[in-house]
Amino acid sequence: MVEFGTGYFHTMDRDYVHGSPSDNSTNDVGVSPGDFGMSLGLGPVPNVQAINAKLRAGTKTMEFVFTGAGKGSGQGQTPEMYGLKQRQALVEIGRANQVNFTTHATVGVYGLAGMDQQGNFSKTSKNFSLQEIKRAIEFAADVGTGGPIVVHTGEFQRPIVDADWNEQDNEWRKKFQMHSEEEGRTSFRVVDTRTGGVIQEARKNRNVSRPVWKVAQEGEKYIDFERKERIAHPTKDEPIYINYEKKQIKPKDRVPLFDAQKGVFLTKQMSWDDLVKEAEEMTKRAREEWKEHKAGKLTKEEEEDAIGTRFFHDKNITKEEQIKIRPEEAYIISTLETNAANSRGWALYYGGNFDEHVEDVKKLKLAKEFYEKLEKSASEEEREMMKKQIKSLAGGLVPADAELPTKIIDLQIQQLERQMKQAMEAASAQASQAAEARETIRHVQSAETYALNEAYDSYAQAAISTMMHSDKLQQEGKLKKPLFIAMENLFPESYGAHPDELMKLVQGSRDRMIQMLKNQGMREEEARKKSVAHINTTLDTGHLNMWRKYWIGDKDKTMKENNEEFDKWMLTKIGEMAKKKMIGHVHIDDNYGYHDDHLAPGEGNTPIVNMIRVLKQNGYDQEMIVEPGADYTTDNSGFHSVMKTWRLFGSPVYGAGSGVSSRRRKSWSDVGYGFFGQNEPPYFVFGAYSPSEEWTLWSGVPLE
């Protein structure tokens, strides 16, 4: 509710007929204009004086948005560009105007997993992003003395059609798709955990070749690990690998199946569905290995050869359900195993006769010593006889101008030594490649698993920083409300934009923070409370509406019905988040479902009023920040977005009567665009129509 009493009878008097408000609420949503704040981009708004000028519009909450990262610039300011005096000035301005400040960390950071521009994951990039968040936390502590620090998510690029939430068995199953051929062209990145670099992209439409392994068939007899004869009853998920002696062997030692009729070892093209089954089998193996490792039953060699080696020393894994090998990991593992097998084969080929060559060289050297003695004591005729004898023994392989036996032996030794050197280098190189492939297999991890693990760690560290600053402010008696990390849903193409992903990020980060605090000696119950207080989300209405462009409507329904169904999905997800208390901050902006152009609320097709209604019904009572954008260029000012928000929520304007000439109350159109009534006809007379003031009394009373 806003009151304007600008109607007047004359310059020293107010209008006698301005209205009185009955309450301070707007329509049926339960919000007032004072509940809406406004964001302010620092850079375009250059300094403290400009910030102070922006406060005169009348909003009770102002959100500082940092647009720069690293070293700041004029149009891309960072928290460190505001020193001690500027921060103190902002505190005093806020106190004098009774305005609260919130903080938006740099818009140049997209997630805290550490993904660089090439799609690799770097500890350096992760640390850079984390430092950007930490200096925003310090600014929020100094200037805002509490409240949210908004952080953009966007941990990594992921497909939409194959996302876990898009395959759940509910009414929203397969309702999103980036393009019509996405399902067949989906690719998943796989990284090396040692470096964070991408090993390869696993593509659903590309098969991978692999040997057909020899397994025990149904009813076939074999010898198990305990050397007992058994009859095979294998399942699809648990094949029984055997060798050609029909003895059970471990999966790492499995052998290819030989087709005796064709005389070849069999291979097969594995589709994505085959890889899904392979991943399930690998997951079971990895879980069994993890349990045996925990029980101390594995030898060092068995640990090195285990497919789940990377899980053995992961402190964040506390139960076997957390162990999962994904299809894209199975894709890369199968490829690497084939490469390793190929390298081992060539290593055996090159090194197979190496021992024989060594023995041959030894024998030739002994023969050389014998012939050297013989040649020294032999006459010229005897030497000629030796040449002829060598020629006949060599079966015509010795040339006509053959030398003495010692010369021939020298040539043979040189040839054998060259062959040995070639075999050593080739075999050792192939063996090294096989060993490297095997080592890489132990560090294969899907980009999603790796990125989430890194993101949880970063958000938890940032949240602990907010906790420490909150404790310090509380000790100084300055804390307004706890500082907390508020993860914002960003663009649909990146992880964290979907409500389910956002909630998973929050829960995973809270769990990681609990573990970190427990390691520091804090009780679990207290650590859990701290994690809830310092990690939450920012719901951006416009970003959520951008999922509209990927919504697959029902062909049998009208466009209106499909749009209403999409709106229902958004409101349902907001309700889920609100009920779980996973919305701690709200950004309000609008669009038409394509791009983030920040229209004023009500100017696009985002159901903002219904969104806020759902939040209020679930007890939301925190900040709601209007984020101007398009109005800076297509309207008179960014603040017009705030006034349009008031109008969208039906906020009445009281006491804006137009004097005695009219009893009509003014609307927001009059206030926002009419320059406070100047577009109406005057309600007083002037010029020739006005009586001469020479014949009026000093009091203004007419002579009549």
Asked if residue 100 lies in contact with residue 74, where contact means CB atoms within 8 angstroms, the answer is no
Q: How confident is the model at residue 539 (pLDDT cuts 50, 70, 90)?
A: very high
What pLDDT sits at residue 250?
82
What pLDDT sits at residue 389?
64
What are the beta bridge partners of residue 189? 201
Distances (CA, A) of 188 to 131, 158, 270, 283: 29, 7, 16, 18
What pLDDT sits at residue 370?
80
What pLDDT sits at residue 354?
78
What pLDDT sits at residue 71?
93
**CA 603 to mean position of chain CA atoms:** 31
pLDDT at 593 over 70: yes
The two structure tokens encoding residue 260: 């005796």
Rounded to an integer, what distance in angstroms lies between the CA atom of residue 696 and that of residue 702?
Answer: 6
Task: Identify the residue whose tokens are 């060559």.
Answer: 357
395 or 133: which leads in pLDDT: 133
E strand or H helix at 553, and its extent? Answer: none
The two structure tokens encoding residue 646: 């008031």
Q: How confident is the model at residue 656 (pLDDT cuts 50, 70, 90)?
A: very low
| Beta strand residue intervals within 137-203, DSSP E | 146-152, 187-192, 198-203
Asked if residue 699 lies in contact with residue 693, where contact means CB atoms within 8 angstroms, the answer is no
Instruction: From 544, 676, 670, 669, select the one nearest 610 (Cα to Cα).
Output: 544
What pLDDT sits at residue 20?
43
pLDDT in tens, 214-250: 999 988 999 998 899 999 887 655 789 899 999 998 8
**Beta-strand pair 267-270/535-540:** unpaired
pLDDT at 519 over 80: yes
- In degrees, rounded to 5, the angle at the alpha carbon of residue 503 between the alpha carbons of residues 502 and 506 is 90
Instruction: Enter the DSSP assignment of 483.
Output: E
Lowest mean pLDDT among 126-140, 251-265, 481-495, 612-626: 251-265
**Beta-strand pair 653-654/100-104:** unpaired
Task: Identify the residue whose tokens are 């490469």.
Answer: 339
Rounded to an integer, what distance in angstroms lies between the CA atom of residue 23 and that of residue 448?
Answer: 51
The arithmetic mean of pLDDT across residues 612-626, rounded, is 95
Q: How confident is the model at residue 568 (pLDDT cuts 50, 70, 90)?
A: very high
603 or 354: which leads in pLDDT: 603
Instruction: From 656, 660, 662, 661, select the one nearest 674 (Cα to Cα).
Output: 656
pLDDT in tens, 7-56: 544 444 444 444 444 444 446 788 888 899 999 999 999 999 999 998 88
Asked if residue 506 lies in contact with residue 484, where contact means CB atoms within 8 angstroms, the answer is no
pLDDT in tens, 167-194: 998 899 999 999 988 888 888 999 999 9
The two structure tokens encoding residue 307: 């497919």
CA dihedral 64, 66, 72, 73 (to 10 degrees): -80
The arithmetic mean of pLDDT across residues 442-454, rounded, is 92
How crowded is the C-beta side of 17, counted as CA atoms within 13 Å? 11
Mean pLDDT of the chain: 86
What pLDDT sits at residue 548?
97
pLDDT at 83 over 90: yes
HEC-encoded secondary structure of 293-358: HHCCCCCHHHHHHCCCHHHHCCCCCCCHHHCCCCHHHHHHHHHHHHHHHHHHHHHHHHHCCHHHHH
Question: Buried b vs exposed e over 569-578: b needs ≥16 C-beta within 10 Å?
Answer: bbbebbeebb
What pLDDT sits at residue 659?
45
